[in-house]
Amino acid sequence: MLPNFDSNAPKAEEQGLQGLVDQEPYSYDKIVKVADEFASDIRIKSKVFAEVVQSKWSEVKPLFTYNPETKMFEMPWDKMENLFLEKIFPSMRDVVNSNLRAQLTVELEKCRGGRSLVSGSLEELIQIIGHDVMHLPPRAWLFDSLYHFKILDESNNRIVRIPKDWMEYYDKAILDAEKLSNVIATVVDYSRGVLDNIFGYKVKEKPFKLADSLTNIGRIIKGRFSSLDFDLLINPSPDELTVFNRNRIVIIVDPELELKTSESFIFADIYNLVKNSAKAIEEKYSNELKLKNSFGANTFLNVLKYRLDGKETPTKPNQIVISANLSEDSVVLTVDDTGVGLSLDKAMSKVVEAMNVAIDIKRNLENSAWFNAMLALGLSEDAEMLIAWSKGDHNAIRAITIGTILSIQHLTGYEAEAWNLRSMTSGLGLLSVNYLAGVLGGKLLATNKFNGGAFFTLSLPKASVGL
């Protein structure tokens, strides 16, 4: 029996750190020192994990047998669990299981208490270290992914059954395990970048190939959402783009395109958009098939299960297309999906809710955190119209455009899981949107397509990314 993964995460109380928030003043130097040490620790442990997982995969892969009837590779589940999953678990867990994670959280808490003007941003960083990093380790795209291939065969035996294309995915992911695992360190680098920006320092830049970053995102999303059975296509031919009969993630990018900026901020934006697109496809399946669990809440279609059982999926396939193009003066990245799209009704309901909360805290909305967040998004005139609307000017709402409603989704505290609008669901995306807009002069626009789905455009001036 494998131990619970999250229970092994270090807690501040266990490290004797409880109370330090109130006892010591914050220090920028101390925060970035811990952040850099944490990122370095992740990279060292990622290398160890990669060596372990590659060794164990080379031992277990020859034990698969090809079943000509199912046209898939099969093995008793007990062998997969005992010879592979249990063997890689300790090194996989250790990638993020560090005292430094708890220390970084404490240092951020101290800083949040001492810099009230940016406490919201620092709270988002604390959530990133405590929450977001746990969705990116190998557990998400490899360990838990493999559990989706556990089924009962015709004789009621537990086996693992893996299609050829998924075997190829695991081969490539495990070969690049160190690089994929290092994505977690990229998130810590991102946190360091936000801190640099808050304290007025230049965010670190370095050259990187955009294709590598987008490919990492595609691989992680494919593994994390295994039940959707995504195919992953990198720069496919025009014929491959025209017709598809499976869910797919398509990446179209010049393999030689090199940017010089903060890779972590680009990663944060695009990863969150693609993750939300995958969630929107899950929701679309639930709506189409009216899938409910025993409590009446939405549950999601396991597309992969139909394939493993040799059955046709009862819905049309969906896709997420990630592309990067150069205009005369900008780098333009887009995420195009066929999910449920953006809900304007729910967005406006959330606007009213957020304003009422702000009124309860501050009677004068112009002095509220809500108003400041609107200003940060460049929506000062819209904020004035909404305030007038709240005071009885019913015609003021007519001045609010659909574009404004969609932009408001980036306000702090707007979470898709809570109200089903497609938003940047975590600080990882929210803060990078503000950074890219404010520091790099970029712009993120969200809209719905006529025939369904959402379309996101991230534009960055060439001069800000070294082009």
302-315 pLDDT tens trace: 899 999 999 888 88
User: Cα(223)–Cα(221) distance, rounded to whole angstroms?
Assistant: 5
36-to-96, 103, 214, 232, 371 alpha-carbon distances in Å? 14, 12, 24, 33, 34
Alpha-carbon dihedral of residues 31, 34, 40, 41, nearest 10 degrees?
-150
Provide the pLDDT for residue 9: 37
Provide the pLDDT for residue 411: 60
User: Cα(455)–Cα(407) distance, rounded to whole angstroms?
Assistant: 13
Least confident window among 25-39, 47-61, 93-107, 414-428: 414-428
> Taking residues 160-187, what's their average pLDDT?
95
Tell which phi-psi region holds residue 235, choosing left (phi > 0), alpha (psi between -120 and 50) or beta.
Answer: left
Q: What's the farthest any 2 CA atoms get from each other in the chain?
A: 72
**Please, which pLDDT band fits residue 297 given cuts at 50, 70 and 90?**
low
Provide the pLDDT for residue 461: 95
Provide the pLDDT for residue 20: 39
> Taking residues 408-427, what's their average pLDDT?
49
User: Cα(257)–Cα(276) distance, rounded to whole angstroms?
Assistant: 25
Q: Within 10 Å of residue 280's Cβ, how many Cβ atoms?
A: 22
Question: Where is pLDDT greater, at 353 or 230?
Answer: 230
The pLDDT of residue 1 is above 50? no
CA 358 to chain centre: 28
Q: Within 10 Å of residue 163's Cβ, how many Cβ atoms?
A: 17
**Please, which pLDDT band fits residue 439 given cuts at 50, 70 and 90?**
confident
> Taking residues 376-396, what's their average pLDDT?
87
Q: Please answer whether residues 402 and 382 qualify as being in contact, where contact means their C-beta atoms are separated by less than 8 angstroms.
A: no
**Please, which pLDDT band fits residue 166 given cuts at 50, 70 and 90?**
very high
DSSP per-residue letters across 248-282: EEEEE--TT-EEEE-HHHHHHHHHHHHHHHHHHHH
- The two beta strands, 248-252 and 319-326, are parallel
User: Cα(54)–Cα(60) distance, rounded to whole angstroms?
Assistant: 10
**Please, which pLDDT band fits residue 362 given cuts at 50, 70 and 90?**
low
pLDDT digits (tens, 9 = 90+) for 42-66: 999 999 999 999 999 999 999 999 9
User: Cα(206)–Cα(218) distance, rounded to whole angstroms?
Assistant: 22
**Please, which pLDDT band fits residue 263 given cuts at 50, 70 and 90?**
very high
Q: Please answer whether residues 441 and 280 qualify as being in contact, where contact means their C-beta atoms are separated by less than 8 angstroms.
A: no
pLDDT digits (tens, 9 = 90+) for 13-52: 333 333 434 445 678 888 899 999 999 999 999 999 999 9
% of the chain with per-residue pLDDT over 70: 84
The pLDDT of residue 10 is above 50? no
Provide the pLDDT for residue 417: 40
User: Cα(352)–Cα(457) distance, rounded to whole angstroms?
Assistant: 27
Provide the pLDDT for residue 24: 54
User: Cα(416)–Cα(424) distance, rounded to whole angstroms?
Assistant: 7
The pLDDT of residue 163 is above 80? yes
Least confident window among 190-194, 298-302, 349-353, 355-359: 298-302
% of the chain with per-residue pLDDT over 90: 45
Q: Please answer whether residues 376 and 314 qualify as being in contact, where contact means their C-beta atoms are separated by less than 8 angstroms.
A: no
Q: Within 10 Å of residue 200's Cβ, how many Cβ atoms?
A: 7
Q: Please answer whether residues 108 and 66 qualify as being in contact, where contact means their C-beta atoms are separated by less than 8 angstroms.
A: no
The one-letter amino acid at 461: P
Average pLDDT score over the chain: 83
pLDDT digits (tens, 9 = 90+) for 187-233: 899 888 888 887 888 888 999 999 999 999 999 999 999 999 999 99
Provide the pLDDT for residue 117: 52
Domain borders along the chain are 1-204, 344-461
